[in-house]
A = this chain, B = another copy of it.
């Protein structure tokens, strides 16, 4: 544990001052190229590893952005994080990732822990948070970006879309091709606020078409998995067999529902139609392919990165970036 090699040691070995070593370790600064080479060689020989803790304290720059998502194991959020990472990488910003398990209280703890590390900006998922979370974020003095939602009263910046409105698009589409008895499979709890918003959108859309909303199936606690979808579909088929179409809160549950139908020998979409949400890879690979909505997960991350870089460069008014999810017709619903 003799991690006692400091810049001072490198400086001595290279015959320069610590300040010169410090400059050599940063890209921009002016150090003669053979001095830098000598320093780097000395550092390498000594096994020196730069200490960014000390650098951060003095410079008051940590060069990372905190990103909080509900779950690691979700391709949509992973894509968003990928878009963010790539977008920020060019400016030398790293992502520090945390996940909440769809728990508002966990989000609060995580936000506080993140802020203690003094990120340059913070990205959160969704537009609903605990009061204390909102207070912490407002007071943080750094850019805050809410994603995957388009709240009316954002904390600061927003990059996302309305989950409710987007679900209405799906309902409109299904009604447009002739489905009437439409069910919704989603989470029981509101821990997944985006899921809850999709259910609200479903209810509103059905009402606007004058259709009954007597086919809401609770699938359990988030995250709603494939298995949740399969189980919910089983209950739906047993309880309300005349259902014509089912909208699922995500492609994962939609695929589970599809598999349950196949297990029972039902024809999809002949006997029952299925739609999902998220444009997960499986939607395009399974047979038949899933009718779904592409929320443009990666673009959300890329845009969020642009917002962050923009306001870090030149602070300005809160930005509101609306993403346009696209409906992707698939083989699990009829097309006309």
Q: Which residues of A contact B (CB under 8 A)?
A: 1-3, 47, 49-54, 56-57, 62, 71-73, 75, 78-79, 81-82, 94, 96-97, 112-113, 115-118, 136, 139-141, 225-227, 230, 252, 255-256, 259, 262-263, 281-282, 284-287
- With a cutoff of 8 Å between Cβ atoms, the chain B residues found around residue A286 in the complex are 255, 259
* With contact pairs A96-B96, A285-B227, A285-B255 given, residues A52 and B117 touching in the complex (Cβ less than 8 Å): yes
User: Of B3, B97, B281, which is within 8 A of A141 by CB?
Assistant: B3
- With a cutoff of 8 Å between Cβ atoms, the chain B residues found around residue A49 in the complex are 112, 115-116, 136, 139-140
Q: Is the CB of A51 within 8 A of B118?
A: yes
Q: Is the CB of A263 within 8 A of B282?
A: no
Q: Is the CB of A285 within 8 A of B256?
A: yes
- With a cutoff of 8 Å between Cβ atoms, the chain B residues found around residue A50 in the complex are 116
Q: Is the CB of B226 within 8 A of A281?
A: yes
Q: Is the CB of B282 within 8 A of A282?
A: yes
* With contact pairs A82-B72, A115-B49, A117-B53 given, residues A141 and B1 touching in the complex (Cβ less than 8 Å): yes
A312–chain B nearest beta-carbon distance, Å: 11
- With a cutoff of 8 Å between Cβ atoms, the chain B residues found around residue A256 in the complex are 285
- With a cutoff of 8 Å between Cβ atoms, the chain B residues found around residue A81 in the complex are 72
- With a cutoff of 8 Å between Cβ atoms, the chain B residues found around residue A73 in the complex are 75, 78-79, 82
- With a cutoff of 8 Å between Cβ atoms, the chain B residues found around residue A56 in the complex are 53
Q: Is the CB of B262 within 8 A of A227?
A: no
- With a cutoff of 8 Å between Cβ atoms, the chain B residues found around residue A282 in the complex are 226, 255, 282
Instruction: A118 to B49: give the CA distance in the assembly, Å.
Output: 9
Q: Is the CB of A262 within 8 A of B285?
A: no
Instruction: A118 to B81: give the CA distance in the assembly, Å.
Output: 24
* With contact pairs A72-B78, A78-B72, A116-B52 given, residues A225 and B281 touching in the complex (Cβ less than 8 Å): yes
Instruction: A140 to B136: give the CA distance in the assembly, Å.
Output: 35
Q: Is the CB of A53 within 8 A of B62?
A: yes
